[in-house]
Each structure stands twice: as C-alpha cells, then as structure tokens.
Structure 1
Amino acid sequence: MADATPQTTFRGLPLTPEQDAEVRHYIKRKKQHGAPWDTPELGAMLRDMLEPPGNDDGGLGATVDETNAATERATASIDETMEPIEACEERNAAMETEGMRGPRR
C-alpha cells in the first residue's frame, strides 16, 4: 500500500493508511447501496480518527500507582532470610493491611 500523505488521503486529512482505507471503504459501501456518503456518521468517524482519545479511564492510572505503592510497602516488610512460604504469607498479610488502610492522600 502506498504511504498516506495529505496529498493522497481523503480530503487531504492527516490520516494513517489504515484510517484512509477505512474512510474510502465506508464511501464505497455507501455508493454501492445508492446512499449518500457525506453523512454525519462519516463526520463523526473522521473526528474520532483525528482527535486523540480522551482520558476516560476514570483515574485508573492513579489506582495502578497506588496499588504498586502498596505492593512495594508490603514487600518491604518481608525479611530476605524468611522461608519462601512464610515470606509469601507475610506479604499477603501486609497487602491486606495496606488494603484496609485505603488510598494514601
């Protein structure tokens, strides 16, 4: 497939080759069915392609960071000289304790 450049993409938009192919396929399908292709649906598709996705994870990054921090604190309470099973049990207990404390502020 040829590189997608503003001179070769749909309406000169900065689309990736995959996005350009998707737009052209949409138009071709609409024309085959005799339907108008320049629709609000096409406009929405192009907006989605051109605008970066929003941060809709609902603070997932903060949750992951807090979980990692809790894991590090729990792991720090384990003595290297412990038996593996004992160390695992101590770590699990420390994680439960961290979980009961809730998020740090």
Structure 2
Amino acid sequence: MADATPESTFRGLPLTPDQDAEVRHYIKRKKQQGALWDTPELEAMLRDMLEPPGNDDGGLGTTVDETMAATERATASIDETMEPIEACEERNAAMETEGMRGPRR
C-alpha cells in the first residue's frame, strides 16, 4: 500500500493509509448503490478520524486516588485479630464491593 500523504489522501486530509482506504471504500460502496456519498455520515466518519479520542477517565491521578481510597476503606473493614488468610479474603471481598460501587463523585 502506498504511503498516504496530504497530497494523496481524500480532500488532502491528514489521514492514515487505513483511514484513507476506509473513506475511499465508503465512497465506492455508495456509488455502486447509486446513492449520494457526500453525506453527513461521511462527515461524521472524517470527524471521528481526525479528532483524537477524548479523555473521559479524568486523568491517571484521579484513578490512582480512587483506588487508594477504595483500598483504605477495604482495609478498614479488617479486624486485627483475624487469621492472615481470613483477613486477606475479607480485604478481597471488600475491594470487590468497592469496585461494584464505582468511583465516588
């Protein structure tokens, strides 16, 4: 496959070779069906290709903080007089419960 450059890609957009091939395949398929190919669907596809994915997780620091807080809450449920294996099982069960509750807001 030839390298995709702005001079060779669809509308001169900075697409990867795979993205350019996907756009050209979409256009070819639409033409074969006798349908319009310059549609809002194509524009949405291009927008998705050109915009980097969003960062919905709130950052790595937030995830680490949430995990540490969940671990502390789970550890707090362990009694010091428990056997080590029982304490480990209790901690694991508490961590699963914290995980099911999801992140605190």
1:52-101 deviation line (CA, Å, top 9, x unaligned): 12234578973564124432675699999996514414534775998999
> Measured at CA, do residues 2 and 81 of structure 1 come closer, stay the same or move farther in structure 2, by a change above 3 Å?
farther
Instruction: Between 3-12 and 75-84, report the one with greater CA deviation.
Output: 75-84
Q: Which runs of 5+ in 1 are unaligned?
A: none
Query: Counterparts in 2 of 1:13-24, with a 5 A limit?
Result: 13-24=13-24
Q: Which moved more, 1:17-26 or 1:48-57?
A: 48-57
Distance 1:82 1:54, change over 3 A: same
Unaligned runs of 5+ in 2: none
8 Å CA contact 2:57, 2:63 repeated in 1:
no
- State, as a whole percentage, how many aligned pairs show the same letter: 92
Structure 1 distance, partners of 2:53, 2:60, is 15
Q: Take 2:66 and 2:78, find their aligned partners in 1: how far apart are those partners?
A: 19
- Note the aligned Cα RMSD (angstroms): 4.6
- 2:43 matched to which residue of 1? 43
Residues 1:100 and 1:20: Cα distance change in structure 2 (over 3 Å): closer
Give the secondary structure class of the aligned counterpart of 1:58. coil
CA distance change for structure 1 residues 24 and 88 in 2, over 3 Å: closer, same or farther? same
| Residues 7-44 of structure 1: CA deviation (Å, up to 9, x unaligned) | 22111111111111110000000110111211121111
Deviates more, 1:78-87 or 1:30-39: 78-87
Task: Name 1:87's counterpart in structure 2.
Answer: 87
Aligned length: 105
